[in-house]
Amino acid sequence: MLENISLWHDRSQQLAGAELSVGEMSGLTWVSAQVLSAIYFTAYSNPAAAVTDTGKDYARHEVDVTLFAWLLGVESEDGERLEQMLRGAQKVSYIETGKRGPKSEYWFSIPFVSVVRFGGSSFGIDVRTDLLRYLRSQESPGALPLDFKPDLSSVYARALYANLAQHEHRERCSTGWIPLDVVRSWPGKSRASVARTEDFLKKVVASAIREINEVSDVQIQWETVTDEPNSKDISVRFAVRRKDTTVMRWDYLRARSDMFSALNANSASALPTAAS
């Protein structure tokens, strides 16, 4: 979590009597973070999503498909795409591991959303009552409190992200030229680190960057250069750009929601499209 909202961490302390614990997000991608932001924004704005029953972990929330698609900038008729996005959001969990004592360990996982019932003009989704209650307790929550750390599957993708994300804050967001051997060494010794240069660049680096660009909060471009004419020594340069988080902020979602309502009020028979 970006901030300690004392929801699940405190629960683990109480249930497990934990001495040491580590919490992290699992399954989080750039798209699923946008979807969760839209889900909890609409739930926050929906008085029917009750959070008064503290005995229930989840509250049922009904979402208008056209509004939801509008908030995300996709076509409401593209049911396959919307279903794919919702399935991705279902995979996001808060996972915590810890110790009760020197020999006793525990682990638990809490999904951000539970059951999704998709079909027709609306879909139902179960959202966390404790998280929704926290959001409603804030005078004006600016965004869903997520500490964005992408769940990257490739070892090299994780190594590239860890080494390159920091360059987004530097002048021109560029790394300068880095010897390829240095890039090979970032994740430590592996089979890929001794692969032929051509295979390493195409199958390892290019694949890792594709995953980073699709899943994470940064966009990376890269190029190579031969250090000297006729030399086999190669250097790599990366350009790193942070993606715009405006689409996840609630002032943006609120403006989109108000625009949707205004357009529908003016023309009930002509609903807005994502391209508007």
The number of distinct structural domains making up the chain is 2
More confidently predicted of 230 and 132: 132
Same domain, 137 and 164: no
For the stretch 252-273, pLDDT in tens is 999 999 999 898 887 655 555 5
Q: Are 14 and 6 in contact, with CB atoms under 8 Å apart?
A: no
Query: What's the pTM value of the predicted model, to 2 decimals?
Result: 0.79
What pLDDT shows up at residue 270?
A: 52
Is residue 185 included in any domain, yes or no? Answer: yes
Is residue 3 included in any domain, yes or no? Answer: no
Mean predicted confidence (pLDDT) in 120-142: 85
Which structural domain, as residue segments, surrounds residue 84? 8-143+249-266
Ranges assigned E (strand) in the chain:
20-26, 58-64, 93-99, 105-111, 113-119, 122-128, 174-179, 218-226, 234-242
Tokens of 7: 């929801």
What pLDDT shows up at residue 247?
A: 87
CATH number at 206 reads: 1.10.10.10
For the stretch 184-243, pLDDT in tens is 888 876 666 667 888 889 889 999 999 999 999 889 999 998 877 777 789 999 999 888
Same domain, 39 and 172: no
What pLDDT shows up at residue 165?
A: 75
186, burial (CB in 10 Å: exposed 0-12, middle 13-18, buried 19+) = middle
CA distances (Å), 171 to each of 71, 105, 159, 167, 254, in order?
Answer: 33, 45, 22, 8, 33
pLDDT band, residue 14 (cuts 50/70/90): very low
For the stretch 62-82, pLDDT in tens is 999 999 999 999 998 888 899
- DSSP track, 135-153: HHHSSS--S----------
Q: Residue 49: is its pLDDT beyond 60?
A: yes
What pLDDT shows up at residue 169?
A: 54
